[in-house]
Amino acid sequence: MTDHAVLVLRLAAPLQSWGGPSRYNRRETRPQPSKSGVLGLLAAAEGRSREDSITDLLDLRLGVRVDQPGSLLRDYHTFSDHRGVPLPSAKVNAKGVQAKTSPAKHTGVTQRFYLQDAVFVAALRGPAPFLERLEHAVRHPAYPLSLGRRSCPPTGPVSLGLRADAALPDALAAVPWQVSDYRRSRVQATEVALEATVEDPAGDQLAADVPDTYDLKTGTLFGCRAVQHLWVTVPTGLQVEQPADGEASHANPGHDPFALLGW
């Protein structure tokens, strides 16, 4: 039996976008990295073409921890044909050729959504030799890496290395908190609870983000995987100062400001 291990990735960038069930000129993003997007990153790192099989990647179990959720950005812009001709409509004639818009429409609108300043930790569990190869590829990628879209390159090292085999919740809880200095400065506790989603056959929800291929000619069909949502607690790296002997604490446990309200 092949030994297993866990590959830990840090997914951080000014912008990232993890496509969901988007249609036409409105492209949404999911609040967390999708399995399709993470496996696509690994495939690019190994130099696989879009037509290559990804069957071996599908067997990897994925867990994602939200270290810094970021904020939603809507990118609104217009587009037109550089030749100055009307844009094609969504309708096609009997020969399958798109008709021009009537009345003529020379400018279209597209909206794309991104996550700004988000930071995620992804843990992939699988056979150790296979993950060793993937970890080397992520550190020495054949193709540029991106977080959901080509316009979203990651910042900083993506790989946080291989870890000993562990359940995904335990593996995610063992990774130090990956946040910006500003975000860390807004916390005063020694621990923080972070949202996580792990792949689990006994999970109570389904995520439709398992690709069958990345081939643009055939298109991608997405299968479902069972997932579980939970919270993991990790240290913040902060030390709470204890008041010296004889020094009053800033918080007086004997004072209840809501007592007069009957709370």
| pTM for the structure as a whole | 0.83
Query: For residue 184, what are the domain limits?
Result: 4-76+110-241
Residue 66 · residue 120 · CB < 8 Å: yes
The answer to the question of residue 125 being in a domain is yes
**Model confidence at 98: pLDDT above 90:** no
C-alpha 162/C-alpha 159 separation (Å) is: 8
Residue 242, pLDDT score: 61
Query: Crossing angle of helices 128-139/35-46, nearest 10°?
Result: 70
Residue 141 is assigned to a structural domain of this protein? yes
**How many domains, in total, are found in the chain?**
1
For residue 136, pLDDT beyond 60: yes
CATH of the domain at 163: 3.30.70.2660
Residue 169 lies in a domain: yes
- pLDDT tens for each residue of 145-184: 999 999 999 998 999 999 999 999 999 999 999 998 888 8
16 lies in some domain: yes
pLDDT at 220 (0 to 100): 87
Average pLDDT, stretch 185-203? 94
**pLDDT for 95:** 75
Is position 95 within any domain?
no
Report d(CA 224, CA 125) in Å as an integer. Answer: 18
179: in domain: yes
Q: Is the pLDDT of residue 124 over 70?
A: yes
- Tens-digit pLDDT profile for residues 199-211: 999 999 999 999 9
